Structure 1
Amino acid sequence: MAAQPRVKFLLPFALATFMLTGCIKSPEWTLFYFADTPNKTDLSLNYDAIKGYYNTLEQCQAKGAGIVRIQGVEITEQVDFICGQQCQIADDNQVSCSQLVSDKDFLKQL
């Protein structure tokens, strides 16, 4: 009989935990920021260049443009930020993404 009250207590807790884990979604887009990088010829996607994670491309682009604006960096032909979709980090801190969208693509839309 002692096991039955314990099951009644644990069942709702287990059900709530299961339902909440279904609501957690990992961010789709990763922001890589290069405006403060001295050597812009080497825009390697690595862990150190990551500035945030976002659910949509629009959020990622808006944040990248905002950082450029706040830091007072003049938009040049050089790439200042890149948004990568579904990025994975390897053991050597290099990052691979299924799709990359540079800030120049974003600025063409404005």
Structure 2
Amino acid sequence: MKLSFAIPRLFFMLGLLFLSACTKTPEWTLFYYPDVSALPAVPLQAEDIHGYYDTLEQCQSKALGMQRLRQGDYMGAGAYQCGHLCGLDDKSVLVCKRLSQ
């Protein structure tokens, strides 16, 4: 009788394990500045975030696509940077471990 309770519990635990393995946090954050031709000197701002990506290549690809869409615009294509492992520091300032283009 104890075995009949152990099998459903085992399947439940395996299900939770598989579900938790499917939730991966993206490591790259796209900062896109549509109205400038060079990267701004101001610190990173949350309103400049335009998505989260698993790889640097995905982040760059999205940014280049956004620039292509804006190339016909009179303001220019904009500028971007991809931040690796971004978050808020103890002073609530947005920081990234690394920035790349």
Instruction: State the TM-score, normalizing by the size of structure 2.
Output: 0.73
- Do the aligned partners of 1:28 and 1:55 also contact (CA within 8 Å) in 2? yes
For structure 2, the 5+ residue unaligned runs are none
Map of 2:79 onto structure 1: 80
Map of 2:95 onto structure 1: 96
> 1:89 Cα deviation (Å)?
2.9
Moved more, 16-25 or 49-58: 16-25
Aligned runs of 1:1-110 on 2, under 5 Å? 5-36=4-35, 41-72=40-71, 73=73, 74-75=76-77, 80-90=79-89, 94-102=93-101
2:18 aligned partner, one-letter code? M
2:15 aligned partner, one-letter code? A
The CA distance in 1 between the partners of 2:6 and 2:25, in whole Å, is 32
> 1:88 Cα deviation (Å)?
1.1
Q: RMSD of aligned C-alpha atoms? A: 2.6
- Do the aligned partners of 1:54 and 1:60 also contact (CA within 8 Å) in 2? yes
| Superimposed CA distance per residue, residues 24-69 of structure 1 (whole angstroms, 9 cap, x where no aligned partner) | 22111100011236xx644421211110011111110110111121
Count of residue pairs brought into register by the alignment:
96
> 1:81 Cα deviation (Å)?
0.6
Identity %: 36
For structure 1, the 5+ residue unaligned runs are 103-110
1:12 aligned partner, one-letter code? F
Instruction: State the TM-score, normalizing by the size of structure 1.
Output: 0.68
The CA distance in 2 between the partners of 1:31 and 1:20, in whole Å, is 27
2:64 aligned partner, one-letter code? A
